[in-house]
Structure 1
Amino acid sequence: MDIRNSVAVVTGANRGLGRYLAADLVKRGAKVYAAARNPASVDLPGVHPLQLDITDPASVAAAAAIATDATILINNAGSGTGAALLEGDFDDIRLEMETHYFGTLRATRAFAPIIAGNGGGAVLNVLSVLSWLHPAGIGAYSAAKAAEWALTNALREELAPLKITTSSLHVGYMDTDMAAHVDGPKHDPATIAALALDGIRDGVLEVVADDLSRQAKAGLSAEIVAPVAVS
């Protein structure tokens, strides 16, 4: 897909990876709707701030009524409550699924007819290595990302006849606010944003951006090992 002169909607574009995606899209010659719950928090030059809360159906509908020239949707907005499944706050667990699964679906349902009406284009869902790895301590996030991966695969078949390519991005920790608490190596979000946009350009269906994600995907067929009980 030719990104130059395309029209992209990037959710969660006020910070983190979303901000880098929006900035790189502008650099590549796209018109960019930088969507955020608070559009006043969008400070990137060259973008069109757009109010959008993917957990709010009315907000999504209003944004779609504005961005009627869209040809690319990047579902990047996310949450990170850190909730475990057994003892985590149930509202936090619900928020993860509401954001990553239902929010992504809601935005895609709103913008798919628009993209199709403009001749086709692309949807990119920002997933994670945790689509494929599910550590207990952040089970809510991992479960939501796994659900979003399944959603992406199913929507790919539905969107293909509309001339919309559906892709996913899988990556480990990046040097963003969401991972500020993490000690250890983190990827440069500018590099990951460039890889993701190269994937859209080239029609890559899964952008697997780092070794950890590649190893996790390769291990999906491995036998499940039972956890060791601690006495």
Structure 2
Amino acid sequence: MRISGSIALVTGANRGIGRHFARQLLERGAAKVYATARNPEQIDTPGVDKLRLDITDPRSVEEAAAVASDVTLLINNAGISTWTNLVTGDLSKIRSELDTHFYGTLSMVRAFAPVLGANGGGGILNVLSALSWFSYNGANAYGAAKAAEWSLTNGIRLELAGQGTLVTGLHLGSADTDMSAGYDGEKVDPADVVRAALDGIEAGRIEVLADEWSAYVKASLANDPSAFYTATAPVR
């Protein structure tokens, strides 16, 4: 999968990591970048093709797939964080997390898989999280939704292998974006995250760990989980 000459679509491209994806794709020679958002007038990246898209609205997704029928690289970046727990949290917020990260991503994949297949296979990158692999009190709805999206990513990789579509999962800790403004811990530069992700796509990798924290969390999965939570409780 080569970035140069590709035709990419980025969800949630109006800010944060999505904005960096749109910019770096152009810098790497993408022939066209569809930058999408619920409010495309907020997109400020020069040189992109702005497109209105709400990934939780099936009609909006269907319309985007009809317009962007030349896409060869789909970046599923759009996301929300409601900072909601599962037991006592607002159930509507929990559903919003799942509607966005799981069902919204799945809707995009189902709509664009035939497009990618018709255009030679191409690639899909899903922006996941280190929270796919652990829980954090105060954001358990986000963690549950990202864990579901991780499983989705692994599943669609198998289903789309026959049409030659590369499916890559991107994991990271907290990035210095608006979404994590309320988090006081260490944050990674979103530009570095996107650079690692695009390098991974070009290398044909199915998983990219964008920072030391996500690598640490992934490595802990083979061990007793009590050791991880004991060691990280004061930090995370």
Partner residue in 1 for 2:12: 12
**Deviation string, structure 1 residues 83-105 (Cα, Å, up to 9, x no partner):** 00011100000000000000000
Q: C-alpha separation between the residues in 2 aligned to 1:8 and 1:109?
A: 16
Q: C-alpha separation between the residues in 1 aligned to 2:136 and 2:172?
A: 15
Partner residue in 2 for 1:174: 175
- Alpha-carbon deviation of 1:82? 0.3
Q: C-alpha separation between the residues in 1 aligned to 2:200 and 2:113?
A: 19
**Deviation string, structure 1 residues 31-58 (Cα, Å, up to 9, x no partner):** 1000101111111101000111000000
Unaligned runs of 5+ in 2: 231-236
Partner residue in 1 for 2:2: 2
Partner letter of residue 21 of structure 1? F
Contact between 1:33 and 1:47, CA under 8 Å: does it hold in 2? Answer: yes
SS of alignment partner, residue 138 of structure 2: helix
Partner residue in 2 for 1:57: 58
Q: C-alpha separation between the residues in 1 aligned to 2:170 and 2:108?
A: 17
Unaligned runs of 5+ in 1: none
Q: C-alpha separation between the residues in 1 aligned to 2:198 and 2:226?
A: 36
Q: C-alpha separation between the residues in 1 aligned to 2:216 and 2:44?
A: 37
SS of alignment partner, residue 80 of structure 2: coil
State the TM-score, normalizing by the size of structure 2: 0.94
Partner letter of residue 3 of structure 2? I
Q: C-alpha separation between the residues in 2 aligned to 1:212 and 1:222?
A: 16
Partner residue in 1 for 2:151: 150
Q: C-alpha separation between the residues in 1 aligned to 2:83 and 2:185?
A: 18
Partner residue in 2 for 1:209: 210
**Deviation string, structure 1 residues 10-29 (Cα, Å, up to 9, x no partner):** 00000000000010001111
Q: What is the number of equivalent residue pairs in this alignment?
A: 228
- Alpha-carbon deviation of 1:210? 1.0
Q: C-alpha separation between the residues in 2 aligned to 1:120 and 1:23?
A: 23
Q: C-alpha separation between the residues in 2 aligned to 1:62 and 1:115?
A: 16
Partner residue in 1 for 2:223: 222
Partner letter of residue 100 of structure 1? H
Partner residue in 1 for 2:90: 89
SS of alignment partner, residue 95 of structure 1: helix
Q: C-alpha separation between the residues in 1 aligned to 2:120 and 2:216?
A: 37
Contact between 1:85 and 1:136, CA under 8 Å: does it hold in 2? Answer: no
Partner residue in 1 for 2:234: none
Contact between 1:134 and 1:142, CA under 8 Å: does it hold in 2? Answer: yes
Q: Does 1:26 align with 2:26?
A: yes
Contact between 1:85 and 1:139, CA under 8 Å: does it hold in 2? Answer: yes
Contact between 1:11 and 1:34, CA under 8 Å: does it hold in 2? Answer: yes
Partner letter of residue 2 of structure 1? R
Identity %: 55
Q: C-alpha separation between the residues in 2 aligned to 1:17 and 1:56?
A: 22
- Superposed, 1:40-79 pairs within 5 Å as 40-79=41-80
- Alpha-carbon deviation of 1:70? 0.1
Aligned Cα RMSD in Å?
1.3
Q: C-alpha separation between the residues in 1 aligned to 2:185 and 2:114?
A: 42
Contact between 1:167 and 1:206, CA under 8 Å: does it hold in 2? Answer: yes
**Deviation string, structure 1 residues 171-214 (Cα, Å, up to 9, x no partner):** 00111001111213211111111111111111111000111111
